[in-house]
Every structure is written in C-alpha cells, then in structure tokens.
Structure 1
Amino acid sequence: MANKQALNIVKMKKMKADGERLSMLTAYDYPSALLAEEAGIELILVGDSLGNVVLGYDTTLPVTIDDMVYHTRSVTRGAQNTFIVADMPFMTYHGSIDETLRGVRRLMQEGRAQAVKMEGGLEICETVAAVVAAGVPVLGHIGLTPQSVNMIGGYRIQGKDVKDAKRLMDEAKALEAAGAFAVVLELVTEEVAQAISEALSIPTIGIGAGRYCDGQVLVFHDLLRYASPYREKRFVKTYADVGNVIREGISQYVQEVKDRSFPDEGHVFKADETVLESLYGGAGKDGE
C-alpha cells in the first residue's frame, strides 16, 4: 500500500483514547510482511516466535540476535509503510545496559525496526526506561512470557487468582511508568485484561486475553493455518486454511510430474528450425 501512512506511538495512544482498536500480526519474512501490509495491518511484530514457527525449535530460547536482525531486515523491506516491532531475544536485555543497547542498536540500524519488544515486568523496568531514554520505543509483554516458560511451569493461563491478578496489574503500571508505549497481554484472563486496559493510558494488545484489550495480535501462521501438523489453539480464529491449499497444490504437482502431464505444450519454448539443423547436422533429429 504505497499511500499507507505508518502509525506512530502518538497516534496509537490517541486511538486508545478514541476507542479505536489496533490490529497487529507477526511476520518473519519479506512476502508475508508485504501481504500483511497490503491487507491493511497496522503493526507488525517480528516475534522470536519465529524460533517455533519457521526455524523448527521447541521454544523461543535458541533464537539469537543475529536471527532477529536477519528476519527483521526482511520484514522491513516488505512492509515499508507499517510500524514494525522486533523482539529482543532471550537473555539479550538482562545484563548490562550497554549490552542491551548494543542489541537494540542492531535491531534498529541493521534490522530497520521502529521499536523493540521485551518480555517481563518489574524486573525489566529499569532497562525499559534506559532504552526509552536512548530514544527507542519499547513494547512491554506480560502474562505468559514464552522466554520464561521454564520458570512459570509451561504455557499456563495467567491472572486466575487475586494474587496473580494484582501482580499483572502492578507490572503493567510499572511498564507504563518506565515509558513503554504499549503492553502485550498474553494468555491473561479476560477480566484481568479488561481491568488492566482500563487502568492504563497506553494501549494493551491482547493474544488470548479476551475482548477488551485495545488491540489484538495473532501469529501469521496461526491466522492462516500455515503449518503441518497444525495444533489447535482456543484463542486463535482461522481466517484461511492455506496449509491445506499448499499441500494439495504440491501433491498435484508431484502427480503431474509422475504422469508426464507437466510440463505440457503451454509451458515449453520452441527453437527455430535452423537451431535443430545445427544440432542434428542437417539430417533431422531422427538422423534421417
């Protein structure tokens, strides 16, 4: 969309105030980013979920800063008029501020992202504030935080009791105070996500967090069922089953190669008779 105006963090805050929802989608490469932008997506997240979705890992933990730079650069080439956020991968923002800023700089300068995302609550607020002070927008992420999956005991719903709900509220407010421009709420009970959304002046973006967040984010491959085998997720709605279309198309190609129906007359290029004469010495291709 050549005439599309990319969002910025000021517009996003106004959209929340006006009650206008934000649409966000993950993308990991040039063609998916281009399609997302053409479809009107407002924010693209180059998530470290690429480890699970396109690199074949069991978790996001093996994803490196080099992986994130490579994929972010591909996405920003495809979606040049969309606000793009890149994930800071596992253990790249829990050391010194200098170390964190080196990773941020790579995602911004080499990857060409407009913002970075960090998972965590109170424990990362000082880092968030330092990155924001350096002039980089930060998207927070609380609730289910996949980088901490080994600490939280798996992929569990967050905010199911009073203590956990209070923790999430405190974390969200602390991230806002640290300067985050928005907060992702992942696998949070709807009631708690609603309360957090109403308490913050910055947008909340939900994934499995119910109907009352200020925006929603889904994984590209979930939305389009682009996986094999596909694992059903309660919080995901499938809008197209491209995985099945791809599988059927490749299967048909294999069959047509086997039965010699591809390529047919419409897929070949013809040479001039003089070319044939030169190849067969003027005797014709049958040697006569």
Structure 2
Amino acid sequence: MSGITSSAATLPYPSAPGRAAQHPVISLSAVHKIYGEGEAEVRALDGVGLSIARGEFVAIIGASGSGKSTMMNIIGCLDAPTSGEYRLDGIATGELDEHQLAQIRNRKIGFVFQNFNLIPRTRAVDNVAMPLAYRGVSRRERHERAMAALDAVGLSERASHLPSQLSGGQQQRVAIARALVTEPVLLLADEPTGALDTHASHEVLDLFDSLHATGRSIVMITHELDVAARAERTVRMQDGLIIADSRTGGVA
C-alpha cells in the first residue's frame, strides 16, 4: 500500500530503548506566548522548552487555561511564539512566511480534531483525499492514496459513505485517515475522543496505539487522565509552564 508511512517526535529527554538518534520532530526552546499588555497581559506560555523524538506518542495534558491549547497551536504552526524558537522536523518555523507555513502544515502535520471537520456532503474517500488536492496531486493518485489510508484505519469498505452515514467513531477514523494521507512527520490530535462515547474512544485510542507501533509520531492534546495514560509519555501543563514530564509506557 503506497501513501501510508510513519514517522515521529524527540527531546533532550531519555530516548526510548532502540530508538535511533535523530533530530527531534518537535523542538521548542524558551518559547513565550504573551497576549495583551500591562495589567491585561496573559502569559499563555512562559518560557517553555520541549523536545519530542521521532516515533514518540506524547500526551500534553492540563486543565483549561493551562497553556496546552496554545502549545498545540504553536506545534501545529497555527500560531507563532512571541519569543523563543520552534523547530518542526529541523525547520525553524520563525523564519517562514504565511505561504511557507501553510505548506509545512500541509506536508509535515496531519491534524485530527475533536469534531472531525469532515465535509458533510462528500464521500469518505474524497474527504480523505482533500489535502492531496491542495498539492496538485492527480485525481487517480489521490484516490489510490486515500483508499490506502482508509484501509490503514479499517474503513476501506466505507469509502463511498457520507459522514452522516457513519458513526462518530468511524467519522474520527476517516479524519485520522485524512491526517495520514499526506505522509506527515507528525500526527497532531486535539481532544480526539472528546466527541465520542466510551466504546468509540477505545477504538480510536487502539488505532493510535497501532499507528505508534509502526513508528508514527503522535502528539495528543487532552484533559482526560485515562486518555493521556494511553501515550508512552505525558507532558503536564499548568499556568503556561510544563510542570511534569514522565514516561508512562502506554498500553501494551
């Protein structure tokens, strides 16, 4: 199957056994994000440093206002730090213009959102192929790669279904296939189980486990402890700071 490969993330953090030494997929150094001025100033991130290695499955966890959403936006190149440096797969993102940032988002990051963000009146296979259309990939290749991505998440038989004909868990798996189809170096998931029931949540997390086992780099933003426990490493945030960073081992 072409179109589905794997990669991941790094840090000045102990590497997992057997993981090759490579430059980090994510490297943040002294990153600040400040909103407002004077008495209205809010330090959403206050000098954060973080490195995530290729092949890691990392959960970033924290309560509302902890800074985890700001961290996600910076990691996803959706926002820029006020100061400090962010490198994605070795690329200094602060040196890029808006067009270049859009390109790096399309080529380097596969996004998975809480509410799926599928196009309602579009078949699953065409939803998955959408990011490739922005690259100018031919219709035939888009279809082949989208089908390969759907097969990777166990939904090739639902390729012609509309989102309304799929369960919530199936919609999220289609969204994951869409995130994978561009062969990104990073899968970035924002509360991926937030709109799902318990059974569907376990199915999606099992899929993340399988993708991680193939070498995928995954960063998952969540406020749920049981969801974070599925990752191999947990980064806990509070008041714009990383207050804990531990390797949990994930689910066997």
Interval containing the TM-score (normalised by the shorter chain): 0.3 to 0.5
TM-score of the pair, normalised by structure 2: 0.36
Higher Cα Rg: structure 1 or 2? 1
Richer in strand (by share): 2
By relative contact order (CA 8 Å, sep 6+), the higher-ranking structure is: 2
Richer in helix (by share): 1
